[in-house]
């Protein structure tokens, strides 16, 4: 069954609540004060089912909003999730201030479909009704409620005149409304919190996307509290699940009413991240009283939430001429203009790209504009470029995802993170990126996605870093992999992939922990080559009774720093082998030691320190480190005070 949400809008005492009751039989005024005063103060809800032209039933949920200017903030909490608007205008009063403000809000929220209802038609004569209709037609010209595309229906909630006609028009309009995406990640902005006897904590709201099922776990945003769904009701009836576009009540376990507020949101656990920064496209109403200044503080409304926001324009606007505005020298946005901006919120909130919002002046509180969220995860300390914001505003899914990947540069971004940033389902993200991956505009490295130009720049950076290392350290065969990764400023995962690609392209060579350019060898001057030869000869001739390394270095022509690099080179090539921090041996001496141990094993499988000293002719100074070396090499194994020859 198709479900849509219909929201009322209009001036106080123009008959919105009476109209909803005439249509559904339900009185949406639920508060005692509302019934006593005869005005709607907070949101009210009702529902009905009507047959569509094809015989299927349509489920219509109504959100009745207050019309008094003092309760516009409550009105805003109800209209964020509507699919269809009923603009209610009393025939005996015509267009009034809240008619205009509510209609401005509907347009700023991007409502696409609606019906204009002239109520209290029984209170005026036919001629007056015609005059009011003409006034309303003129008021609505050029908008989404322009007649005849959007009908104007005259009714009387008192006599019932026109109600059946309105029901028929509602069905026709509802059939054109595109169903909300029930396969997307669920989001339920909370508009009511209460306790129901025998059930406990209950929240209600309009399910704007996804599906909520009984017994599943959800998270309360922005608090992070995990809750369990004990039960679900849709339009007052128990259900196994609620789907997008339905008025939904959820009975929650694991949380009290004191921990929940209007403006919070229920969503799948860990699916999203809250934000305090939003990149947006905003529109200032032509009726806004004055220039909207840089750093201005405004009331911010989106779905059921309300907070304060500070505005920082992404595009600097020229100050208006003195003849047009008295605020000479102040940059900002003039009435009727639009701009890209960053909004800073005092507390974290759950908002996603595509979410609509309303801005109201801080004081006096009047509606001045609104807009759409382009990015709820802007990079910290990086102002968004106007070109990238235009891409985000353009609506091309592949281009939007590519832009989000590109801005992450060498960090890359995972698919799960893209899901959290956009609110789109994982399979939708994967499908949208399929062509970009096939054309290698976007590259996948492990779990990360990177923009191809970024990868090319990284490859060049790695090669140039190695070349610079070779130039500065000619006596070192290559740069250490971790040092190279740190200089390239990339994660291990990305570096390993980049190194693998470059090695495959034969632009670098990786051997052990070192990386070098192809064919690059150690370049030595004559005195360096002579010193290398002397070091090697000194240790080769010493056998197992090697001299101290510092003594050998002291007798060379080169300085200590270059001598150390030559030793490092010999160690890397395994010409010399470090047995302990103080002892270095030539590899031929250690190879001969292995042969001696193999020969000794024919006599005995065990050897102690004394026998080892006798066998090798070395003192204890050399014997202990050499035996420990043989243990590490699994030539011997220590058993008590002796060694077993393996």
- For 492-513, the pLDDT digits (tens) are 999 999 998 998 899 998 877 8
Cα–Cα distance list, 602 to 53, 599, 626, 644 (Å): 100, 6, 20, 13
| Domain endpoint, select from 336, 360, 387 | 387
Predicted local distance difference test score (pLDDT) of residue 94: 95
> In the prediction, which pLDDT does 147 show?
83
Query: Is the domain of 593 the same as that of 476?
Result: no
From CA 19, how far away is CA 119, in angstroms rounded?
A: 8
Average pLDDT over residues 604-624: 89
CA angle 556–557–562, rounded 5-degree value: 80
**How many Cβ atoms sit within 10 Å of the Cβ of residue 245?**
24
pLDDT at position 324 is 44
- Asked if the model's pLDDT at residue 319 lies above 60, the reply is no
Total structural domains in the chain?
Answer: 5
pLDDT category of residue 537 using cuts at 50, 70 and 90: confident
The distance of Cα 101 from the centroid of its chain, to the nearest Å, equals 33
% of the chain at pLDDT higher than 90 = 53
User: What pLDDT does 236 receive?
Assistant: 79
Q: Which pLDDT value is given to residue 27? A: 85
Provide the token pair at 270. Answer: 């860990």
- Mean pLDDT, rounded, for 624-634: 91
Domain span holding position 619: 526-645
Q: Tell me: do 14 and 63 sit in the same domain.
A: yes
Instruction: Give the pLDDT confidence score for residue 328 in this predicted structure.
Output: 36
State the Cα–Cα distance between residues 409 and 459, nearest whole angstrom.
13
Question: Does some domain include residue 448?
Answer: yes
In a domain, 411, yes or no: yes
91 found inside a domain: yes
User: Is residue 377 in a domain?
Assistant: yes
Residue 255 sits in the same domain as residue 336: no
* Structure confidence at residue 317 (pLDDT): 53
pLDDT band at 529 (very low <50, low <70, confident <90, very high): confident
* Poorest-pLDDT segment among 369-383, 423-437, 546-560: 546-560
- Indicate if 15 and 115 belong to the same structural domain: yes
Same domain, 537 and 549: yes
Q: Confidence band (pLDDT; 50, 70, 90) for 525?
A: low
Q: For residue 34, name the pLDDT band (cuts at 50, 70, 90).
A: low
**Angle in degrees, 0-180, between the axes of helices 72-79 and 97-108, rounded to the nearest 10:** 30
Q: Residues near 166 by Cβ (< 8 Å), separated by ≥ 6? A: 23, 115, 117, 153, 155
**How much is the pLDDT for 572?**
77
User: What pLDDT was estimated at residue 327?
Assistant: 40
The mean per-residue pLDDT over the stretch 197-205 comes to 90
| pLDDT score of 326 | 40
Q: Which of 380, 371, 373, 439 is nearest to 400 (CA)?
A: 373
Residue 446 counted as domain residue: yes
More confident residue, 534 or 151: 151
pLDDT value of residue 316: 60
Q: Note the pLDDT of residue 148.
A: 84
CATH number, domain at 147? Answer: 3.40.50.300
The last residue of one of the domains, among 247, 267, 287, is 267
Has residue 181 been placed in a domain? no
Q: Is pLDDT at 37 greater than 70 in this prediction? A: no
Q: Is the pLDDT of residue 555 over 80?
A: no
Spatial distance between the Cα atoms of 67 and 96, rounded to a whole number of angstroms: 11
Indicate which CATH number applies to the domain containing 545: 1.10.10.10
Question: Average pLDDT, stretch 289-315?
Answer: 92
Domain stop point among 495, 523, 551 = 523
In a domain, 383, yes or no: yes
| Whether residues 434 and 377 fall in one domain | no
CA distance 26 to 62: 10
Q: Residue 93: pLDDT above 90?
A: yes
Q: Report whether 201 contacts 195 (CB < 8 A).
A: yes
471 and 343 fall within a common domain = no
Q: Are residues 591 and 624 in the same domain?
A: yes
Q: Are residues 43 and 169 in the same domain?
A: yes
How high does pLDDT run on average in the chain?
Answer: 88
Task: State the CATH number of the domain containing residue 288.
Answer: 2.40.30.10
Is residue 182 assigned to a domain? no
Q: Residue 171: which region, alpha, beta or left (left: phi > 0; alpha: psi -120 to 50)?
A: alpha
Note every long-range contact of 620-623, with CB atoms under 8 Å and residues 24 or more positions apart, other chains counting. 622/544, 622/545, 622/546, 622/583
Same domain, 519 and 625: no
Shared domain for 90 and 237, answered yes or no, is no
Give kind and range of the element (H or E) at residue 160: none
Residue 30's pLDDT is 65
pLDDT of residue 323: 38
pLDDT value at residue 67: 65
Look up the pTM and report it.
0.77
Half-sphere CA count of 138, side-chain side, radius 13 A? 8
Per-residue confidence at 325, pLDDT binned at 50, 70, 90? very low
Of 262-276, 362-376, 403-417, 470-484, minimum mean pLDDT range: 470-484
- Dihedral of alpha carbons 122, 124, 125, 127, sign: negative
Dmax (CA) for the chain in angstroms is 127
Are 355 and 221 in contact, with CB atoms under 8 Å apart?
no
Q: What is the pLDDT of residue 375?
A: 93
Least confident of 188-202, 379-393, 433-447: 379-393
Same domain flag for 111 and 148: yes
pLDDT of residue 567: 81
Lowest mean pLDDT across 72-81, 216-225, 273-282, 415-424: 72-81
pLDDT band at 329 (very low <50, low <70, confident <90, very high): very low
Dihedral over Cα of 429, 430, 435, 440: its sign: positive
């Amino acid at each position: 069954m198709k479900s849509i949400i219909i929201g009322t809008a209009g001036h106080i005492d123009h008959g919105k609540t009476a109209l909803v009751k005439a249509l559904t039989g339900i009185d949406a005024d639920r508060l005692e004060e509302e019934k006593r005063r005869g005005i709607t103060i907070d949101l009210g809800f009702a529902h009905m089912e009507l047959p569509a032209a094809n015989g299927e039933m349509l489920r219509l949920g109504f959100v009745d909003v207050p019309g008094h200017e003092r309760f516009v903030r409550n009105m805003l909490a109800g209209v964020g999730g509507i699919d269809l608007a009923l603009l209610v205008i009393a025939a005996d009063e015509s267009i009034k201030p809240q008619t205009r403000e509510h209609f401005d809000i509907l347009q700023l929220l991007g409502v696409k479909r609606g019906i204009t209802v002239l109520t209290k038609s029984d209170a005026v004569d036919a001629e007056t009704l015609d005059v009011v209709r003409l006034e309303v037609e003129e008021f609505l010209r050029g908008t989404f409620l322009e007649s005849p595309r959007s009908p104007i229906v005259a009714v009387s909630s008192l006599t019932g005149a026109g109600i059946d006609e309105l029901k028929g028009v509602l069905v026709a309009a509802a059939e054109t409304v595109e169903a909300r995406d029930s396969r997307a990640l669920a989001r339920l902005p909370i508009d009511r919190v209460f306790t129901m006897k025998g059930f406990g904590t209950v929240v209600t709201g309009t399910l704007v996307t996804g599906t909520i099922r009984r017994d599943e776990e959800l998270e309360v945003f922005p608090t992070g509290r995990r809750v369990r769904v004990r039960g679900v009701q849709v339009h007052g009836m128990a259900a196994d699940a609620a789907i997008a576009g339905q008025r939904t009540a959820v009975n929650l376990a694991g949380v009290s009413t004191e921990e929940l507020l209007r403006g919070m949101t229920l969503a799948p656990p860990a699916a999203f991240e809250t934000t305090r920064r939003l990149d947006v496209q905003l529109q200032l109403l032509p009726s806004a009283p004055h220039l909207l200044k840089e750093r201005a503080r405004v009331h911010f409304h989106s779905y059921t939430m309300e907070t304060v926001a500070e505005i920082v324009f992404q595009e600097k606007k020229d100050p208006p001429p003195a003849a047009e505005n008295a605020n000479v020298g102040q940059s900002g946005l003039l009435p009727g203009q639009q701009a890209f901006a960053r909004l800073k919120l005092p507390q974290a909130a759950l908002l996603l790209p595509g979410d609509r919002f309303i801005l109201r002046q801080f004081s006096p509180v009047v509606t001045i504009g609104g807009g759409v969220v382009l990015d709820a995860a802007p990079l910290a300390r990086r102002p968004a470029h106007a070109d990238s914001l235009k891409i985000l505003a353009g609506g091309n899914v592949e281009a939007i995802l590519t832009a989000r990947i590109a801005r992450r540069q060498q960090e890359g971004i995972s698919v799960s993170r893209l899901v959290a940033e956009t609110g789109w389902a994982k399979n939708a993200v994967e499908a949208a990126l399929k062509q970009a991956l096939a054309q290698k505009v976007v590259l996948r490295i492990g779990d990360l996605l990177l923009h191809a130009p970024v990868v090319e720049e990284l490859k060049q950076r790695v090669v140039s870093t190695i070349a610079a290392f070779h130039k500065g350290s000619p006596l070192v065969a290559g740069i250490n992999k971790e040092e190279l990764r740190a200089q390239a400023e990339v994660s291990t995962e990305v570096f390993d992939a980049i190194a693998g690609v470059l090695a495959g392209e034969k632009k670098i060579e990786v051997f052990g922990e070192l990386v070098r350019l192809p064919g690059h060898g150690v370049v030595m001057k004559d005195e360096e080559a002579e010193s290398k030869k002397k070091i090697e000869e000194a240790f080769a001739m010493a056998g197992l009774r090697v001299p101290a390394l510092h003594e050998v270095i002291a007798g060379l022509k080169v300085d200590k720093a270059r001598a150390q690099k030559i030793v490092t080179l010999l160690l890397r090539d395994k010409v010399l082998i470090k047995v302990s921090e103080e002892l270095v041996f030539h590899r031929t001496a250690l190879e001969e030691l292995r042969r001696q141990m193999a020969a000794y094993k024919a006599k005995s499988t065990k050897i102690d320190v004394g026998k080892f000293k006798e066998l090798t002719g070395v003192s204890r100074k050399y014997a202990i480190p050499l035996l420990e070396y043989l243990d590490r090499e699994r030539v011997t194994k220590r058993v008590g005070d002796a060694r077993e020859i393996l």
